Amino acid sequence: MKRVVLAKRLIPFFWLLLVAPAGAEEGIPTGGKVDLGIKEYTDVGVKGPVDNPVTSLDEKKTSASTADHSRFKELQGPFNSGPEVTKACLSCHNKAGDQFIHNVHWTWLYTHPVTGQKLGKDVLINNFCTNARGNEGMCAQCHAGFNRTSPDYDLTKQENIDCLVCHESTGTYYKLPPTRGNKACAILFEGKPPIDWVKVAQSVRLPARANCGSCHFYGGGGDNVKHGDLSSVLFHPPRDVDVHMSEQGENFACIVCHVGKGHKWAGSRYNMIAWDEKEKALPEPGMERQTATCESCHGDKPHSRTSIRGFKLNDHVDRVACESCHIPAIARGGVATKVFWDWRTAGRLKNGVGYREEGYIQGNGEPRHTYKSIKGSFKYGENLIPTYRWFNGVMKYTTIDTVFDPSKPVEINHFEGSPSDPKSRIWPFKRMVTWQPYDKGRNTLVYMHLWGDDKDAFWGNYNFARAIRRGMEENGIPYSGEYGFVKTWSWWPQNHMVAPKEKAVQCDECHARNGRLKELKGFYMPGRDTRPWLDWLGLLLVGGTLLGVALHALGRILLGRRKG
Amino acid sequence: MPIRKVRIFNGFERFWHWTQAALIFVLLFTGFRVHGYHHLISFDQAVYFHVVAALSLITLWIFAIFWHLTTGTWRHYLPTVNGLWPVIRFYAYGVFKGEQHPYRKHFWRKHNPLQAMAYLGLKLFLFPAIWISGLIYLTYNYWQGGVSHPALEWVAIVHLVTAFAILAFVIIHLYMLTMGEGFLHHLKPMITGYDDVELTEAELAYLEQDEPQRLKKS
């Protein structure tokens, strides 16, 4: 009797033995909290109080604005919608509308000045949620305009500009997905207090971290999912996480570095300044600042110019990006970033409905989902050592029409750079690895129809074949009709979360046989590089001398003794 | 001929020798750390002390070269085969039989012919090789033209091979102190400055007359 009970008790363990390895192989941790339905982006927005950062209008950290917007008669309302507020804004700021409609935050389009590629969220495919195009009903929650529900958005209609998302300072303003999506997504719209349009309109000021961060910290489908160096930690970062943005440090707003005039800002990941050379980077007071680079404030000789140590460090700046040493790890401060995404496992159901499962506890103690029916399975990373590569600043993209070889990882974005190119420097990157759908017949990426209240939207129907066919058809892209999954990489240059100097990467971490830069070839680095014959020659020379001396001494001792 | 205790290493020469010895040890220790042979200090510290020691040693060399030239001391290092063979024979054979070292220090010739040749080689080849390669290494940013130049590796290789050779010299140099009358006997002159030197009558008369402070009262 007892034996039977014991055997019964052991059954779950046998199950674990059988099931656990299979689960591990597919990268799906089990055992976390499971909840049903689709809940995305319900926890975005500023964490904690709205920050009051230093901006270009501030001197000695108090606002020096010449206007108190709460006293303008134009902003006394009543307002019942965003566009009504925007009309009031534009009635005074009568050039802002024209400025803004040419900005990428609005157009989602970008023509690369070097490669000529047509880029931007409107057309690109990434290896997170893949494509915004056709899914504007959800993704345009982070469009700086109102009611962008499809690719045919009227880019000339200035009243649709969302001034508030960037300028309001109450922390009560929020954006919802422009359309309702599948009924399973209803929860996204629940429990939201109505927006007090007059209050938010009167609160406007220059953008704080709370404004930029409420979208940019949540790229790719959640907190720090995409970039690795942009997370909700940066709303109120400790000094160790970001020496510039920390309230214990400089308390910078994003726009202190991302300088701009007329609603155009410096700093683009499509076309980066891999090395800000002297003529643009003046280290002296009164400098001209047009770029978002470190050099635009710190100059190109940022370390002490009178000490040997500073002299040696300054020797590095033409070859090593500031970020490589001053961002010691990716995803610091307790919020993890996604490092692996597997769309192949998407679409599993419990009781006929989609679900999500917690399987990772990040540094700040909060759980993260390692499986979502709508997206597949994920792996996270925190405090990751970056991948270092030579980089010349020009990003080239695999777009919807790029044909690739699916037997190798497809680079969503790739770049060039080498030690023999004076424009290149060694940069730190986060590399995202994903298995995502592609057109098996034509070897191209695909647009997926994820969001919508229809039978094809993947988020609700969980059918890749229909979601891909619809996504391709809607955009007039040729499709073979057969999809597969391809491994993709995307590269995310790291620029944020600059640590205080005492936390910078130490010399030994690169100048070592198996250091951070061990993968980079084609140049000599002391401490890392040697040649076997060189070390053998040294051993032969020094060891041979020691041996010779030892034998000579031995001879003297032995022969001397015999004589004595 | 009388053998007298004469000051053969003056103050500067001793300062030069010992400072150079200390700096060479610092340079070998930190240099091998930079190359990755040990990790007793950090790379950062190794580079710092290596550069400080190297610049100090180069400064010292500049003074030493000036001193050699102006005092005529350079003549001590002129290579000669006169008496070379007995010295080689002694180290290869005689020393095992307990023979006396064949060389006697002269007032105008502090080093035996083999020793003088070794020092001359060190000063003419190894030291210039290490400091020229070192300066090229240190100033890489001023000649590599904005790229990571492949020549840097060869500069480093020349520097390192020379360092190995200098280390071999140091080992032999120290071992040689154990020859003949022993370690302390050879060490002492470089500390006190005085050694037993075979003087000619004329040299003795000159020293007694003009430089009596160089003769130790016995």
Q: What is the pLDDT of residues A350-375, one digit of tens each?
A: 988 899 999 999 999 999 999 999 99
Report the residue of B148, B152, B169 to disrupt the A interface, i.e. the one with the largest count of A CBs within 10 Å: B148
Which of the 8 DSSP states describes residue A547? Answer: H
In the prediction, which pLDDT does A562 show?
63
Q: The tokens of B73 are what?
A: 């001391």
Q: Which residue of chain A comes nearest to B50, CA vs CA? A: A308
CA-CA-CA-CA torsion for B23, B28, B34, B38, nearest 10 degrees? -130
CA distance A314 to B140: 12
Tell me how close the Cα of B178 comes to any Cα of chain A, in angstroms.
9
Place of tokens 């971290």: A209
Which stretch, A271-285, A458-472, B75-89, has highest mean pLDDT?
A: A458-472
Residue B1 has pLDDT above 80, yes or no: no
Total-model pTM: 0.90
Decide if A552 and B175 are in contact by the 8 Å CB cutoff: yes
In the prediction, which pLDDT does A31 show?
60
For the ranges A232-246, A250-264, A512-526, the lowest mean pLDDT is seen at A250-264
CA-CA-CA-CA torsion for A389, A390, A392, A394, nearest 10 degrees? -30
Residue B92 sits at the chain A interface (C-beta within 8 Å): no
In the prediction, which pLDDT does A192 show?
86
Decide if A523 and B152 are in contact by the 8 Å CB cutoff: yes
Which of the 8 DSSP states describes residue A51? Answer: P
Decide if B34 and A526 are in contact by the 8 Å CB cutoff: yes
Decide if A530 and B42 are in contact by the 8 Å CB cutoff: no
Q: What are phi and psi of B115, to 5 degrees?
A: -60, -45
Q: How confident is the model at residue A464 (pLDDT cuts 50, 70, 90)?
A: very high
Q: At what angle do helices B11-35 and B183-192 cross, to 10 degrees?
A: 120
Residue A369 has a CB neighbour count (10 Å cut-off) of: 22
Mean pLDDT calculated for residue range B140-152: 91
The rounded Cα A365 to chain-centroid distance in angstroms is: 21
Q: How confident is the model at residue B41 (pLDDT cuts 50, 70, 90)?
A: very high
Tell me how close the Cα of A559 comes to any Cα of chain B, in angstroms.
6
For residue A410, give the 3-state DSSP assignment. Answer: strand
Report the residue of A523, A531, A554 to disrupt the B interface, i.e. the one with the largest count of B CBs within 10 Å: A523
Among B96, B141, B152, the residue with its CB nearest the CB of A556 is B96
Mean pLDDT calculated for residue range A206-225: 94
Mean pLDDT calculated for residue range A43-68: 76
Tell me how close the Cα of B54 comes to any Cα of chain A, in angstroms.
12
Q: Which residue of chain A comes nearest to B145, CA vs CA? A: A422
Decide if A508 and B44 are in contact by the 8 Å CB cutoff: yes
Q: Which residue of chain B comes nearest to A525, CA vs CA? A: B153
**Contact by Cβ (8 Å): A376, A402:** no
Residues of chain A positioned with their CB less than 8 A from the CB of B47: 312, 507, 526
Helices (H), A51-142: 82-92, 96-100, 104-107, 136-139
CA distance A218 to A43: 9
- Burial classification of residue A66, based on how many CB atoms lie within 10 Å of its CB (0-12 exposed, 13-18 middle, 19 or more buried): exposed
**Contact by Cβ (8 Å): A426, A493:** no
Mean pLDDT calculated for residue range B125-150: 93
Decide if A542 and B168 are in contact by the 8 Å CB cutoff: yes
Q: Give the C-alpha distances (Å, rounded to integers) separating B151 from B143, B145, B146.
A: 10, 12, 13
**Contact by Cβ (8 Å): A181, A134:** no
For residue A327, give the 3-state DSSP assignment. Answer: coil
Mean pLDDT calculated for residue range A49-54: 85
Decide if A527 and B43 are in contact by the 8 Å CB cutoff: yes
Per-residue burial over B23-52, b = 16 or more CB atoms within 10 Å of its CB, e = otherwise: bbebbbbbbbbbbbeeeeeebeebbbbbbe
Q: How confident is the model at residue A16 (pLDDT cuts 50, 70, 90)?
A: very low
Residue A564 has pLDDT above 50, yes or no: no
In the prediction, which pLDDT does A259 show?
87
pLDDT averaged over chain A?
A: 89
**Contact by Cβ (8 Å): A522, A468:** no
- ∠B163-B167-B170 over CA atoms, to 5°? 140
Amino acid, single-letter form, for residue A75: L
Residues of chain A positioned with their CB less than 8 A from the CB of B178: 553
ipTM of this model? 0.90
In the prediction, which pLDDT does A15 show?
45
Decide if A524 and B148 are in contact by the 8 Å CB cutoff: yes
| A29: preceding bond cis by omega (within 30 degrees) | no
Residue A284 has a CB neighbour count (10 Å cut-off) of: 6
Among B34, B141, B164, the residue with its CB nearest the CB of A315 is B141
Residue B218 has pLDDT above 80, yes or no: no
Q: The tokens of A367 are what?
A: 């759980």
Mean pLDDT calculated for residue range A157-167: 96
Residues of chain A positioned with their CB less than 8 A from the CB of B58: none
Q: Among candidates A138, A144, A46, which has minimal Cα distance to A86?
A: A144
CA distance A421 to B112: 55
Residues of chain B positioned with their CB less than 8 A from the CB of A318: 141, 146
What is the percent of chain A with per-residue pLDDT over 90, rounded to a whole number?
Answer: 75
In the prediction, which pLDDT does A38 show?
78
Residue A226 has pLDDT above 50, yes or no: yes
Tell me how close the Cα of A282 comes to any Cα of chain B, in angstroms.
19
Q: What are A118's strand-pairing partners?
A: A111
Residue B164 sits at the chain A interface (C-beta within 8 Å): yes
- Overall number of domains in chain B: 1
A4 or A114, which is more confident?
A114
Q: What is the count of residue pairs from A and B with beta carbons less than 8 Å apart?
A: 100
Residues of chain B positioned with their CB less than 8 A from the CB of A560: 96, 98
Q: The tokens of A48 are what?
A: 């904690």
Helices (H), A367-500: 458-461, 464-474
Q: Among candidates A178, A190, A138, A177, which has minimal Cα distance to A375?
A: A138
Among A526, A542, A560, the residue with its CB nearest the CB of B156 is A526
Tell me how close the Cα of A325 comes to any Cα of chain B, in angstroms.
14
Residue A324 has pLDDT above 90, yes or no: yes
**Contact by Cβ (8 Å): A215, A142:** yes
Residue A17 has pLDDT above 80, yes or no: no
Residue A217 has pLDDT above 50, yes or no: yes
Residues 127-156 on B with a CB inside 8 Å of A are 140-141, 145-148, 150, 152-153, 156
In the prediction, which pLDDT does A27 show?
44
Tell me how close the Cα of A528 comes to any Cα of chain B, in angstroms.
7
Residues of chain B positioned with their CB less than 8 A from the CB of A317: none
Tell me how close the Cα of B93 comes to any Cα of chain A, in angstroms.
10
Q: Which residue of chain B comes nearest to A508, CA vs CA? A: B43
- ∠A258-A293-A500 over CA atoms, to 5°? 95
Q: What are phi and psi of A383, to 5 degrees?
A: 50, 40
Which of the 8 DSSP states describes residue A330? Answer: B
Residues of chain B positioned with their CB less than 8 A from the CB of A530: 35-36
Residue A356 has a CB neighbour count (10 Å cut-off) of: 21
Tell me how close the Cα of B188 comes to any Cα of chain A, in angstroms.
21
Any idea what the CATH number is for the domain that residue B176 is in? Answer: 1.20.950.20
**How does pLDDT run across A63-82, given as a tens digit for each residue?**
677 889 999 999 998 999 99
Decide if A523 and B148 are in contact by the 8 Å CB cutoff: yes
In the prediction, which pLDDT does A105 show?
96
- Burial classification of residue A532, based on how many CB atoms lie within 10 Å of its CB (0-12 exposed, 13-18 middle, 19 or more buried): exposed
Q: Which residue of chain B comes nearest to A315, CA vs CA? A: B141
CA distance A165 to A200: 10
CA distance A534 to A276: 38
- Burial classification of residue A68, based on how many CB atoms lie within 10 Å of its CB (0-12 exposed, 13-18 middle, 19 or more buried): exposed
Decide if B35 and A309 are in contact by the 8 Å CB cutoff: no
In the prediction, which pLDDT does A205 show?
92
pLDDT averaged over chain B?
A: 91
Residues of chain B positioned with their CB less than 8 A from the CB of A526: 34-35, 47, 156
In the prediction, which pLDDT does A19 show?
40
CA distance A161 to A90: 10
Distance spanning both ends of chain B, measured CA to CA: 16
Q: What are B195's strand-pairing partners?
A: B6
Tell me the residue range of the domain where B29 lies. 3-214
State the maximum Cα–Cα separation within chain A, in Å, rounded to a whole number.
117
Residue A471 has pLDDT above 70, yes or no: yes
